[in-house]
Amino acid sequence: MSATPLSSVPNPSGRTESGLPFNARYEAADLEGWIPAERIGVPGAFPYTRGIHSTMYVGRPWTMRQYAGFGSAKESNLRYHQLVKAGTGGLSVAFDLPTQMGMDSDAPLAQGEVGKVGVAIDSLDDMRELFAGIPLGEVSTSMTINAPACILLLLYQIVAEEQGIAAADLKGTIQNDVLKEYIARGTYIYPPRESIRLITDIFKYCQTNLPQWNTISISGYHMAEAGATPVQEVAFTLANGIEYVRAALAAGLEIDDFAPRLAFFFVSRTTILEEVAKFRAARRIWARVMRDEFGAKSEKSQMLRFHTQTAGVQLTAQQPEVNLVRVAVQALAAVFGGTQSLHTNSFDEAIALPTEKAARLALRTQQVIAFETDVTKTVDPFAGSYAVESLTDDMEVEVLRLMAKIEEMGGAAAAIEKSFQKSEIERSAYEVTREIDRGDRVVVGVNKFQISEEEPYTPLRVDPTIGATQCEKLKTLRATRDSAAVDAALAAIKSAAADINENLLPPMKLALTLGATVGEVADQLRAVWGVYRPSENF
């Protein structure tokens, strides 16, 4: 089925978030030209439109994760224990900005940022404290870390091995998606080509040492939070995925050796029908790309497995309790769309870090959907819906059109260097802002249904002394470790960075075990590769 040209739509308001036609009434005629049984497919079978498993949630629910991390490792560890006690099925770690940028807490640029948007991790000691009492052989851990992802993964592996857990038994995910950092988020360190080399080193290392670990979570979430439409979110994310696959193949890896460990990360908005169509279209497109373009034979290589987070950008500081409703709707969209794991935002996140109660309510939202509703009693409830099937087709057409445009530019990395994705997202974000300002787009409590006076709210505050405490810990570490051994290990990292044939992770692991810090390891790569300066290209 071909998408209706946008210019032929008589009513501009009858459009989805992506600007696709949105009919007030769908009928069988809208699906003319394809046979539903063939087009919709079977759950658990190519092209996985209806989900990657034949039983989906009928057999077991999705993994319920809660994104958490703030202040010190000790404080975050306490929150993790609270979440595990509340019934979360997987931990998801938020790191502070210095850690995300490969800086130690005592770096000049880290001042005032330590522990603010996530937990501060400077060394192996911090990682030990972060997961103290957490059985790493039983939980699945996701770490939202990109430029220095390999460093945090190695620290996690070392701590697990100290607990007596074999690396081969560890399950979890590192985000490790640097390309989207250049597009939307900004926590990059090294130039794109060198960053991709580091990612392929991680692929190789995990294939041998951590075979059950998801080596990358290719993220559309952050692009969506920056303003990308659903079409842009999927197109740019899948284009980045193709770039990573090509890099891995160029590095000598076999497609079916690494592709089963690729994962994706999408947002889920309040627009349920389009979001369901988005997830279905994304699975269908990726399955065909992997089979037809890259020749993947394994079904697991063809499956698009993804984590979802509810839309933080749609939360409001005004009447924050209303966010509980928004998050519930967004979570339903993710579940109807067939997500493999889900994080639900806390209602107070537009104001500050979530309180313990808010985080628990966010988790309870998922539990109510999983155990009190009937949406898990059947696979893909929207299959055969005139509206959703038509929207899925329209979404697929527009995503493929945008992906083709990126291919014409030479692929995702080349398009990033031309600032294509970034400018497209900024244009979409600007239009949404204008619609809200004009009142064309209703945001409850913001431009409609306001109240004269907000109820008082006491937010969670990070201990302001955390920065000084981390600096003291670093001072003690450097004074007590074997400096000569650490220096030699850091020199080995620097040497490996200059040799494309060397895998960087083994020398990194040795250095971290000896007491090298996150910043010191990252600095060895900075010394050889330099840092990325967007002003040089844009």
Domain contains 444: no
Domain contains 449: no
Residue 353 is classified by DSSP as B
Domain contains 494: no
Assess whether pLDDT exceeds 60 at residue 536.
no
CB atoms under 10 Å from CB of 61, counted, come to: 18
Q: What are phi and psi of 68, to 5 degrees?
A: -150, 150
Which tokens in the block code for residue 289?
């790309």
Q: What is the mean pLDDT of the chain?
A: 93
Report the alpha-carbon distance of residue 85 to residue 83 in Å, rounded.
Answer: 5
Mean predicted confidence (pLDDT) in 220-229: 97
Domain contains 116: yes
Mean predicted confidence (pLDDT) in 100-108: 97
Report the alpha-carbon distance of residue 125 to residue 128 in Å, rounded.
Answer: 5
- Residue 85 near residue 73, CB atoms below 8 Å: no
172-174: strand order across its sheet: 213-214, 172-174, 140-144, 90-94, 63-68, 341-343, 306-310, 262-268, 216-219
What is the pairing mode between strands 172-174 and 216-219?
A: unpaired
Which tokens in the block code for residue 481?
């470790």
Residue 341: its H or E element? strand 341-343
The predicted-structure confidence for 466-476, as pLDDT tens digits, reads as follows 999 999 999 99
Read off the CATH number of the domain in which 16 is found: 3.20.20.240
What's the number of domains the chain is made of? 1
Confidence of residue 80 (pLDDT cuts 50, 70, 90): very high
Domain contains 464: no
The predicted-structure confidence for 319-349, as pLDDT tens digits, reads as follows 999 999 999 999 999 999 999 999 999 999 9
Mean predicted confidence (pLDDT) in 212-234: 97
Residue 119 CB-half CA count within 13 A:
27
Assess whether pLDDT exceeds 80 at residue 413.
yes
Report the alpha-carbon distance of residue 84 to residue 90 in Å, rounded.
Answer: 8
Which tokens in the block code for residue 511?
């250095």
Output the furthest CA–CA distance in the chain (Å, rounded).
75
- Residue 266 near residue 224, CB atoms below 8 Å: yes
Domain contains 411: yes
- Residue 352 near residue 358, CB atoms below 8 Å: no
Mean predicted confidence (pLDDT) in 50-70: 92
Quick one: pLDDT at residue 203?
96
Domain contains 330: yes
The predicted-structure confidence for 248-286, as pLDDT tens digits, reads as follows 999 999 999 999 999 999 999 999 999 999 999 999 999
Entry field: residues in the chain: 538
Domain contains 193: yes
Mean predicted confidence (pLDDT) in 437-460: 90
The predicted-structure confidence for 14-26, as pLDDT tens digits, reads as follows 789 998 887 877 7
Q: For residue 47, is the peptide bond before it cis, meaning its omega torsion is within 30 degrees of 0?
A: yes
Report the alpha-carbon distance of residue 68 to residue 64 in Å, rounded.
Answer: 13
Sign of the CA dihedral running 468, 517, 188, 96:
negative
Per the structure, the complete domain to which residue 185 belongs is given by 6-38+60-438
Identify the burial level of 274 via C-beta atoms within 10 angstroms of its C-beta, where 0-12 means exposed, 13-18 middle and 19 or more buried.
Answer: buried
Confidence of residue 176 (pLDDT cuts 50, 70, 90): very high
- Percentage of the chain exceeding pLDDT 90: 84
